[in-house]
Structure 1
Amino acid sequence: MPIRHGSSAAVDLVVADDDTAIAIRSGDVPVLATPRLVALFEEAAVAAVAGQLDEGMTTVGMRVQVDHLAPTAVGSTVTAEATLERIDGRRLVFTVAARDSRGLVGAGKVTRVVVDTDRFLDKLS
């Protein structure tokens, strides 16, 4: 099944205490943690190609290039969107952006690689 260039998806998160820099131990302020923002971008990228991969295939993270531009408070909703910008063999490059009620929170690129799930997991042995 071909993966469609331009595929996109958006995911929402209501920022909770567990999503903060304090909870994730990436800082000491009670705002959305950068690692949690990255995870949200990855979630959106996975959703963008959901249902487009052949049986037994999945994508795995390879590269994340993100600028975290503004803080998001606990209780605020942040929406992350990923759009498939480029297909380079097995590499999928997504443009990502996140916004809350005040505007742009973060932006960048996420690269994921299409792999055979079983062959990938065999590398653990």
Structure 2
Amino acid sequence: MEDRPSASIEFQVTTDDTARALLSGELEVLATPRLVAWLEAATCAATHDTLAHGQTTVGTGIVVDHVAASPVGACVIVSAVLSRSEGHRLAFDVEAKDRESGELLGGGVISRAVVDSETFMARLATRHAPGV
């Protein structure tokens, strides 16, 4: 089987990562928006060495279930594996686990698109130019 681009990153939950801090709940546990951001970071890391000069990826879709809580101080390992590549569209299987217990904290699929950085930003600037 051909090696698929993948990456794993470890994060430690801080008070800045909690649902309370990110206004996504009241508890001092890892917030779902932060978990999703960490999972996206793993997708970016997985493709970093595979893109041509001037290319990057942008997020296009997220389907993630956050199934277990993590307290402040917990270490979370997030991983992404490229599961599908169709032209410029990429799909990654992602998951997060507690480093100490190995418990699954969440997972799903994140989609990204490969774009030329300059072209992408130029289109955005044109669309948001004064008087346009």
2:63 pairs with 1:65: yes
Amino acid at match of 1:6: R
- Secondary structure, aligned partner of 2:80: strand
Question: TM-score, with normalisation over the residues of structure 2?
Answer: 0.89
Q: Distance in 2 between matches of 1:76 and 1:54?
A: 36
Q: 1:87 & 1:66 partners in 2: Cα distance?
A: 19
Identity across matched positions, percent: 45
Secondary structure (helix, strand or coil) at the match of 1:41 reads: helix
How do 1:1-125 and structure 2 match up within 5 A?
6-100=4-98, 101-102=100-101, 103-125=103-125
Distance 1:120 1:31 in 2: 36
Deviating 4+ runs (over 2 angstroms): none
Distance of 1:26 and 1:20 partners within structure 2: 8
Offset at residue 124 of structure 1 (A): 2.0
Larger Rg over CA atoms: 2
Contact 1:5/1:85 (<8 A) preserved: no
Question: Shift of residue 72 of structure 1?
Answer: 0.4
> What whole-Å deviation, never above 9, does each CA across 1:22-71 have from its counterpart, x for those lacking one?
00111111000000000000000000111110111000000010000000
Instruction: Extract unaligned runs of 5+ from structure 2.
Output: 126-132
Gaps of 5+ in 1: none
C-alpha distance in structure 2 between counterparts of 1:119 and 1:9, whole Å: 27
Q: Please give the alpha-carbon distance, in whole angstroms, between the structure 2 residues aligned to 1:44 and 1:92.
A: 13
Q: Is the 8 A contact 1:5 1:86 kept in 2?
A: no
Q: CA deviation at 1:88?
A: 1.1
